[in-house]
Amino acid sequence: MQADSVYPSYGSLLNIKTYDGGGGTLQLYTPYSNQYGGDFIKYRRYNYGTDVWTEMRGFWDTGHFSLTDISN
């Protein structure tokens, strides 16, 4: 996929859909590279009833912070 107003850059998108109405739908975005899309997986959810997607958010892992950072 290519970058647009929602997705940061080139990468892959996985749709996890529970049923046709869209409630409970999750999208996982995996960047093409650090230069194109960043260095971590991003996600967004579809809110049933409001018919609105949440903003893209990133999963943080131990590559982004240390155990000391967590305890502070």
Residue 35 belongs to domain spanning? 1-59
- pTM of structure: 0.72
Task: For residue 4, name the pLDDT band (cuts at 50, 70, 90).
Answer: low
* Residue 32, pLDDT above cutoff 60: yes
Q: Which residues pair with 21 in a beta bridge?
A: none
Cα–Cα distance measured from residue 70 to residue 56, given in angstroms and rounded to the nearest whole number = 23
Residue 49 within a domain: yes
Residue 72 within a domain: no
pLDDT of residue 49: 79
Residue 70 within a domain: no
Residue 67 within a domain: no
